[in-house]
Amino acid sequence: MKFLGLIKNELIKQWNKLSIKIIIGLLLISTIGLPLLYNYTNNHNSNDWYLENYKMDITNYKNSINTLGDNKNAELEKIYYQWCIDKLQFELDNKITWNDWRYDLTESTYTKQLTATALQKLLDKFTIKDITNTFLYIDEDILTKYENLSEDEIRKEIDTLNTQFNDSKDIISSRNYKKYTENEVNTAKKNIEETKKNISTLEEELKKSPNDKNIINNLDLTKENLKLSEELLSVSKYRLDNNISYEENDWRNRTIQSLVDNINNKYNPLLNEEDFKNNFSYKIQRGYTYEDYKKDYKSNKQKSIDSISTNWYSLRNNIPPVDYNIDARNSVDNIYVIYINIIAIIAVIIASGIVSSEFSKGTIRLLMIRPVSRWKILLSKLVSVMIISLVLLISSITLVTIVSGFIYGFDGLTTPVLAIKDGIISEHNYFVSIIPKLAFSCISILFVISFAFALSTVFKNTALAVALPVAAFSGCSIVTMVMANFNQTWIVKTFIPYINLSSFLSEGGYMSMLKDELNLALDPHMGAIQLIILSIIFITLSFITFIKKDVTN
């Protein structure tokens, strides 16, 4: 009971501090402000800067036209600049920016118009070299295949390209995504039929030359391409049949985009050793081997297969993935990690002064004259810091959840999240799914608390006890990246990269960047064990020092 009384007194003492009240007040205000800011950002994701670039480019092209002379090449340049102006003006009028589904379609559509113009200039006796040197979007090989055609055949091709240009332009202007998808499906079907014919031709050639490795390799590659095309076609058909738009805020569209990316990744061919050396020379210098590449290839392929399964399950069962749907669940998911970092720093501030302030104020003597063991006094302070940190973390996430619910609606919080293991997909409550992540991140909070606590107890210096843990927590990622750039791979065996475990919660990001670009494979679970061991050492050091040290003030 005395021990519980010590904890209670310590909690009251911390609460009575003005600085703690201010920190907690700001923290509570942020739980309202951050969800509102997140909502504002999602609703005001303006691309006006991109449209302003269009205006600047149009002005530059107009100025370039005014400076042209009257020679033959100037005629081609004027046509090209005017084409650029027309394309940019069309994108500006229709507010087409880089993340709009119509952007790529606009580029390909206007390229058809430029190709038609290039063919017309070919008929006007301009050389292919002159045309391709001026028309930057046109490759020399494209015009070469038309060079030996008759004039009537070229004019027919020009008419076809202009018709395709006008049809696609109408689709873009009217935002007729359904017609666009229909065209995609029809084009895919034609390509699949062509691929099947190529397979038949290769199979006939293989019968004549059964040991020809080139034919065997081409046949295998073509069959893989057929599988890829058929799988992508099924996605386009699903989009068409379910009338799914290309709007960025539609979770079904974003899921389909993920599905397409993962299908393409699934069919990425395994490089042979020679191609591996050509493509990964930078990583090879850092110790990356062909065996490592094959392991990563197998792992990435399995991840793509799992993602494809969960994406299809999500679409067919109307379960939006957390990352793709703007709702309360998504808001909480993007914000709670911020509070792990904030609470860690608050915990350091409290832990750094909870012992050293007793010495600096001389109140430590009042504690020592109580009929309570020193270790109980110190333990009560440590437990108090942990209780405050845990309460603040849970309270912050709870308030963020409530505020997000009011903004987006509470229904989204009941949407399950999907997990896959050994090919079996399961549904889980969102909050149940983040508890292991929170527990994992709390190891970092425990570490910085014990580190600050040890510094506060041993050195009785609050400034030092704040500065070192905060610097370690905030700078661990930077130090790791700097060391990785200098090829100091030993850093992964230390605790330094893992001090802030919250940076490992999301897939990709920090961990993937180090692996993909710098061949630095981190093991956060090993790092968590190191942090726990160090925390125990720091706490033990604190107790030994506090129990044995003489109180002189």
> What is the full DSSP assignment across 442-473?
HHHHHHHHHHHHHHHHHH--HHHHHHHHHHHH
Give the model confidence (pLDDT) of 93-108 as tens digits.
999 988 888 999 999 9
Q: What is the pTM of this model?
A: 0.86
Whole-number mean pLDDT of the chain? 89
pLDDT band for position 368 (cuts 50, 70, 90): low
Contacts of 130 (CB under 8 A, 6+ apart): 72, 73, 76
Q: Residue 487: its pLDDT value, please?
A: 81
Q: Residue 522: its pLDDT value, please?
A: 87
- Alpha-carbon distance 418 to 308, whole Å? 12
Q: Residue 541: its pLDDT value, please?
A: 93
pLDDT of 79 > 80? The answer is: yes
pLDDT band for position 521 (cuts 50, 70, 90): confident
pLDDT of 357 > 80? The answer is: no
Q: Residue 347: its pLDDT value, please?
A: 93
- Alpha-carbon distance 73 to 65, whole Å? 12
Are 498 and 448 in contact by the 8 Å Cβ rule? The answer is: no
Q: What are the backbone angles phi and psi of residue 371, rounded to the nearest 5°?
A: -80, 55
- Residue, of 486 and 78, whose pLDDT is higher: 78
Give the model confidence (pLDDT) of 156-165 as tens digits.
999 999 999 9
Extract long-range pairs of 203-210: CB within 8 Å, 24+ residues apart.
none
DSSP run (H or E) holding 417: strand 417-421
- Residue, of 2 and 348, whose pLDDT is higher: 348
Give the model confidence (pLDDT) of 212-246 as tens digits.
889 998 999 999 999 999 999 999 999 999 999 99
Q: Residue 359: its pLDDT value, please?
A: 64
How many CA atoms are closer than 13 Å to the CA of 318, on its beta-carbon side? 2
Q: Residue 371: its pLDDT value, please?
A: 55
Q: Which of 187, 466, 488 is nearest to 352 (CA)?
A: 466
Q: Residue 164: its pLDDT value, please?
A: 93
Are 310 and 420 in contact by the 8 Å Cβ rule? The answer is: yes
How many CA atoms are closer than 13 Å to the CA of 70, on its beta-carbon side? 0
pLDDT of 349 > 80? The answer is: yes
Locate 525 and state its tokens.
Answer: 């679970």
Q: Residue 547: its pLDDT value, please?
A: 81
Question: Strand pairing partners for 471?
Answer: none
pLDDT of 362 > 60? The answer is: no
Q: Residue 263: its pLDDT value, please?
A: 97
Dihedral of the alpha carbons of 523, 524, 530, 535, in degrees to the nearest 10: 170
pLDDT band for position 178 (cuts 50, 70, 90): very high
Locate 292 and state its tokens.
Answer: 């490592």
pLDDT of 46 > 70? The answer is: no
Written as one letter, the residue type at 239 is R
pLDDT band for position 517 (cuts 50, 70, 90): confident
Q: Residue 56: its pLDDT value, please?
A: 94
Over pLDDT 90: what percentage of the chain? 60
pLDDT band for position 200 (cuts 50, 70, 90): very high
Question: Distances from the Cα of 452 to the Cαs of 324, 351, 416, 481, in angstroms?
Answer: 39, 6, 39, 25
pLDDT of 332 > 70? The answer is: yes
- Alpha-carbon distance 514 to 522, whole Å? 8
Summarize the confidence of residues 500-513 as an average pLDDT. Answer: 80
pLDDT of 365 > 60? The answer is: no
pLDDT of 308 > 90? The answer is: yes
